[in-house]
Amino acid sequence: MSKNSLEVTNAGMRCEGQWRDICSFAETFEDVMEDNSVDEEEIQEYDEWRPKEKENVKDISEKTADKACVQKTKVEEDYNGAKEELGKAGKKIKKGVTGKEPTGKNIKEATKNVERLFEAGSIRSIRKLEKMIYQGIMLKFNPCYFDTEDFSVNLEKSGNGEEKNYKFSVNISDEELREKVRKELKARADN
């Protein structure tokens, strides 16, 4: 990360350069945020999202879309597949109809199986549609982004002819933290 590629912005800092420069800055930013006691879970999520040299902007676009879409729900975790849910529902209804167990209770439980089948399928369909919209439309015209309570970052291409350059912007809402991070990032860029 070169000192010349760093720029102070109103809300944080920006690094511009080739992919390896952006990846280096993103990793250094992570280290600085970790040193400044930012929430561990946020840092871990950022580490999973941030650009890495073995990846490309398409990978980051996919991670951005995944994070922006409806997250996995308990219904999906409990879902056992259409065949099994319908099979369980059928068995419960059969037990109620044959009189071996109370009909109302079994129909209620069977309804839960069918409901889980439709709800899980609907959520998966919505997620798939959301991802298509994000990757196919939203991220073609907007930067890739990652947001937490403590900070947000944007990654975008900044083309100049044949050379593929990128801009990586960091925004930190807390002024005190922002100043600490700026100083540490500048100091590390000077070394």
Find which of 5-19, 65-79, 135-149 is predicted with most confidence, using mean pLDDT: 5-19
- Which are the contacts of 26, defined by CB distance < 8 A and separation ≥ 6? 50, 51, 153, 168
In this structure, the answer to whether residues 142 and 74 fall within a common structural domain is yes
Structure confidence at residue 139 (pLDDT)? 66
In this structure, the answer to whether residues 77 and 50 fall within a common structural domain is no
In this structure, the answer to whether residues 143 and 169 fall within a common structural domain is no
Beta bridge partners of 163: 160
Token pair of 90, please?
Answer: 């059928």
Structure confidence at residue 28 (pLDDT)? 93
Quick check: is 23 in a domain?
A: yes
Quick check: is 63 in a domain?
A: no
In this structure, the answer to whether residues 140 and 162 fall within a common structural domain is no
Domains in the chain: how many in total?
Answer: 2
In this structure, the answer to whether residues 143 and 157 fall within a common structural domain is no
pLDDT grade for 27, boundaries at 50, 70 and 90: very high
In this structure, the answer to whether residues 83 and 53 fall within a common structural domain is no
Quick check: is 94 in a domain?
A: yes
Is the pLDDT higher at 97 or at 55?
55
Overall average pLDDT of the 118-127 stretch: 80
Residue 156 has pLDDT above 80, yes or no: yes
State the residue range of the domain holding 175: 3-57+152-190
Q: Shortest CA distance to 152 belongs to which of 176, 175, 169, 134? A: 169
pLDDT tens-digit map of 54-71: 998 888 888 888 787 667
Q: What whole-number distance in Å separates Cα of residue 142 and Cα of residue 19? A: 18
% of the chain surpassing 70 pLDDT: 89
